[in-house]
Amino acid sequence: MARKLAAAHGLGVDDVIVDRTALEDLQSALYCLQAAIEDVDRDLGAKPSAREVRESLQWLLDNARPLAETWIEPRTIEAAPPQPG
């Protein structure tokens, strides 16, 4: 039944429906990680001190953890109660 419903809405076997908030949270965490990588690349471009390397690594980890902890499950349609008749 789920495949028929998906096909009726133009969804292929590799398509999933996810909660918009979960997707936005994922995109936000990914953006933060991308920005942190750019920051670290810039900060480590010159000859950084050991302290600067430690600070850069901490910054990168602080921005990577939310993404690493993110998990998105496909949404499922609750089974509707049987209709009388």
Domain residues of the chain, as ranges? 19-73
Distance CA 20, CA 33 (A): 20
pLDDT band at 85 (very low <50, low <70, confident <90, very high): low
Give 29-78 pLDDT, tens digit per residue: 999 999 999 999 999 988 899 999 999 999 999 999 999 998 888 777 65
Residue 19's pLDDT is what?
86
Alpha helices in the chain (DSSP H): 2-8, 20-43, 50-68
pLDDT at 27: 95
pTM of model > 0.85:
no
Q: Are 56 and 43 in contact (CB under 8 A)?
A: yes
Q: In this structure, what DSSP letter does residue 66 have? A: H
